[in-house]
Structure formats: structure tokens, C-alpha cells
């Protein structure tokens, strides 16, 4: 049974995040969406942790001990990587919104993602 194009469905919702068999612009758009959702979730977690830190020195020491966990380190890396990817993709969107590189959006995306990969590699080397 086909769902009319203008009707919401669970399948159509998840296809919003999956750019398989689409052009590079769809990949850029999906990357921006996923990183934005991840960064938004991180913001709430960050505010929760700051609230715990306001409870005093004991809570701060517990937090510092928690940050030595490898899973937390991986999470920190993921947040920084998402911020870099989201930020550089956002710059590409801003440039094309102002008419800069409109005909070269694919090249801009690939260029910014190469820069992002290099910055993430440098960050990874310094973090670990």
C-alpha cells in the first residue's frame, strides 16, 4: 500500500535521515540535521552536568573522576567532531545563501569536509 506523498508516516520520517542513493547535497543536508540533533542533546546533558557541579566540591571531584572514563572521552571527541562538521557545513550554507559558490556547492561541501577531517585528526592527536 502506497502512502500519499503529503501524508506523514514512520517510513517517511526515517527516510529524512537516510540519504542513501541521493546526491551529495542530500548527504550534506542529512549531516547537518544529525549533527544538529546530537549537539542539541549534548546541550541538555551539559546543562545537567553544570547543575551537578553547582552542588559543591564533592560533586566536582566526582565529575572529574567520571571524565577519565574512555566512553566519556569518546563522547567528548564525538561532540567536538560534530561541532566542527556542523560549523563548516553551516559556513557553506551561509556562503551559498549570500550567492557565493552557488554553482559549486558540491565542491564547497567536499572542500569543507576535507578541512573538517584534517581539523578532527589534529584534535584527535592532541586529545589522545
In this structure, what C-alpha cell is assigned to residue 103?
Answer: 554553482
Residue 92: burial class (beta carbons within 10 Å; 0-12, 13-18, 19+): buried
In this prediction, residue 29 carries a pLDDT of 87
Q: Which pLDDT score is estimated for 112? A: 96
Q: Is residue 90 exposed (0-12), middle (13-18) or buried (19+ Cβ within 10 Å)? A: middle
Q: What pLDDT score does 26 carry?
A: 82
pLDDT at 61: 86
Q: Which CATH number fits domain 23-127: 2.60.40.3140, 1.20.1260.10, 1.20.1300.10, 3.40.50.300?
A: 1.20.1300.10
- State if pTM tops 0.85: no
pLDDT at 67: 85
Low pLDDT (below 50) residues in the chain: none
| pLDDT value of residue 15 | 74
Amino acid at each position: 500500500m502506497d502512502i500519499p506523498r503529503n501524508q506523514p508516516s514512520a517510513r517517511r520520517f526515517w527516510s529524512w535521515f537516510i540519504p542513501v542513493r541521493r546526491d551529495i547535497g542530500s548527504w550534506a543536508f542529512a549531516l547537518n540535521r544529525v549533527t544538529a540533533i546530537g549537539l542539541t542533546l549534548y546541550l541538555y546533558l551539559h546543562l545537567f552536568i553544570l547543575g551537578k557541579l553547582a552542588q559543591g566540591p564533592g560533586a566536582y571531584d566526582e565529575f572529574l573522576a567520571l571524565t577519565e572514563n574512555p566512553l566519556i572521552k569518546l563522547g567528548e571527541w564525538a561532540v567536538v567532531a560534530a561541532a566542527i562538521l556542523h560549523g563548516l557545513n553551516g559556513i557553506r550554507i551561509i556562503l551559498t545563501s549570500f550567492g557565493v559558490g552557488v554553482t559549486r556547492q558540491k565542491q564547497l561541501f567536499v572542500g569543507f569536509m576535507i578541512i573538517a577531517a584534517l581539523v578532527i585528526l589534529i584534535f584527535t592527536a592532541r586529545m589522545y
